């Protein structure tokens, strides 16, 4: 899907024209994956564009950067303000937001400290990552033959650019085979997550999701779903899952900023079924919250104006 271009990108403290947002070929991160990033969404609400859990996403960006000893030359508050500035500059009502901090030009050795840390925030309109049809009727998932990188190889606590090579291998494998999304197991055979989503299953009225120690990212949508489940009085547990737990699930779904809440209707050619009642109720609540229709969750919204 080609990127839908807008006017401006925020780069190192300034708004630059979309086409001028360039980096040097010898940027450290291009060669070694030494960058950290976020994926955030702003939704259209009655009061204009609202960024969903902006502070929590930016805090995760700073945690990711700390793992890689990257000093971000802006404060948390400055990064949040820059996000509002770039959305306003492009006049967007809703968008995907991609902040990135990366080791730039100046050092080609592996010890990266001499390379500057550059920071940018791009925004653009991005529809449902796994498709509108997927949100409505569910997607077909397949367990990839590639295993998830582990917490002590390339730390899954960080959202780093380089670690997505692992997701790309899995995603290519299953999409070329005709499926919509990949599920990755860790080295112990436990379910970690989707290529770019967390995963939940429902069994006998209980909601289960793999713990972060499985190699799952500490997803902000995952956390939102856990809080929604609490309100809906659906018990939710973090638990190690094996692939047959996916086959025998009553319901299953992916969560993520790009994907949002997406039912899984099939795993490895075994039907999980049509999106079930728990998936539906969580999905419905989630979309009401992000659109500013749930007063109790106002603290999750950061209004752009």
What is the set of active-site residues? 159
**Residue 256, interface with ligand PY5 (CB under 6 A)?**
yes
**Residue 222 found at the interface with ligand PY5 (CB under 6 A):** yes
Contact present, 5 and 124 (Cβ < 8 Å): yes
| Cβ contact 216:210 at 8 Å | yes
Q: What sign does the CA torsion over 72, 75, 78, 84 have?
A: positive
User: With b meaning 16 or more CB within 10 Å and e meaning fewer, what string describes 242-270?
Assistant: eeebbbebbbbbbbbbbbbbbbbbbbeee
Smallest gap from residue 129 Cβ to ligand PY5 (A)? 6
In the numeric block, the tokens 């990266």 are attached to 112
Taking CB atoms, the residue at the shortest distance from ligand PY5 is 39
- Applying CB under 6 A, which part among 28-36, 63-71, 78-86, 196-204 lies near ligand PY5? 196-204
By CB under 6 A, what part of segment 4-43 binds ligand PY5?
Answer: 39
Instruction: Please pick, from the candidates 27, 34, 118, 221, the single residue that binds ligand PY5 as defined by CB under 6 A.
Output: 221
Residue whose CB is less far from ligand PY5, 219 or 263: 219
**Does 258 interact with ligand PY5 (rule: CB under 6 A)?**
yes
Residue 103 CA to residue 85 CA, distance in Å, equals: 24
Minimum distance, C-beta of residue 84 to ligand PY5, in the bound complex (Å): 19
**How far is residue 180 from each of residues 4, 128, 134, 183, 199, measured CA to CA in Å?**
22, 13, 9, 10, 14
Binding string, residues 163-182; x marks residues near ligand PY5 by CB under 6 A: ----x---------------
- The stretch among 70-78, 115-123, 130-138, 212-220 that binds ligand PY5 (CB under 6 A) is 212-220
- Please list every residue from 259 through 298 that binds ligand PY5, using CB under 6 A: 259
* HSE-CB of 127 using CA atoms within 13 angstroms: 9
Rank residues 115 and 130 by Cβ distance to ligand PY5 and give the closer one. 130
- Using CB under 6 A, pick the residue from 112, 134, 210, 219 that binds ligand PY5: 219
277-290 vs 220-231: helix crossing angle, rounded to 10: 110
Q: Is 90 in the site for ligand PY5 (CB under 6 A)?
A: no
- Residue 186 within binding range of ligand PY5, rule CB under 6 A: no
Counting every residue written for the chain, the total comes to: 305
Query: Between residues 115 and 139, which has the closer beta carbon with respect to ligand PY5?
Result: 139
E strands in the chain: 8-11, 14-17, 35-37, 40-45, 48-52, 95-103, 117-124, 139-143, 181-185, 191-194, 198-203, 206-209, 236-238, 251-256, 260-267, 270-271, 301-303
Residue 257 binds to ligand PY5 (criterion: CB under 6 A)? yes
Q: How far is the CB of 260 from ligand PY5 (least distance, A)?
A: 9
Which residues in this chain contact ligand PY5 in the complex, by CB under 6 A?
Answer: 39, 167, 193, 196-198, 217, 219-222, 255-259
């Amino acid at each position: 899907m080609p990127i839908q271009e807008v006017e401006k990108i925020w780069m190192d403290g300034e708004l630059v024209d979309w086409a001028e947002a360039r980096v040097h070929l010898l940027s450290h991160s291009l060669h070694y994956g030494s960058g950290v990033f976020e994926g955030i969404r702003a939704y259209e609400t009655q009061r204009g564009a609202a960024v969903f859990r902006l502070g929590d996403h930016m805090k995760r960006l700073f945690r990711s950067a700390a793992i890689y000893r990257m000093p971000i030359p802006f404060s948390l508050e400055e990064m949040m303000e820059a996000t509002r500035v770039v959305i306003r500059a492009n006049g967007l009502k809703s968008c995907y937001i991609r902040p990135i901090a990366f080791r730039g030009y100046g050092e080609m050795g592996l010890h990266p400290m001499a390379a500057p840390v550059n920071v940018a925030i791009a925004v653009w309109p991005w529809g449902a990552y796994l498709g509108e049809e997927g949100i409505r009727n569910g997607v077909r998932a397949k367990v990839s033959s590639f295993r998830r990188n582990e917490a002590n190889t390339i730390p899954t606590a960080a959202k780093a650019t380089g670690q997505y090579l692992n997701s790309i291998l899995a995603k290519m494998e299953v999409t070329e085979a005709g499926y919509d999304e990949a599920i990755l197991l860790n080295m112990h055979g436990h379910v970690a997550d989707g290529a770019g989503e967390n995963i939940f299953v429902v069994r006998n009225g209980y909601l289960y999701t793999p713990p972060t120690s499985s190699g799952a990212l500490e997803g902000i949508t995952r956390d939102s779903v856990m809080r929604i489940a609490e309100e809906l009085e659906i018990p939710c547990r973090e638990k190690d899952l094996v692939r047959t737990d996916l086959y025998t699930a009553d319901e299953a779904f992916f969560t993520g900023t790009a994907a949002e809440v997406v039912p899984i209707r099939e795993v490895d050619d075994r039907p999980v079924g049509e999106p079930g009642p728990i998936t539906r109720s969580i999905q419905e609540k989630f979309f009401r919250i992000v659109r500013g229709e749930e007063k109790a969750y106002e603290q999750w919204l950061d209004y752009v104006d």
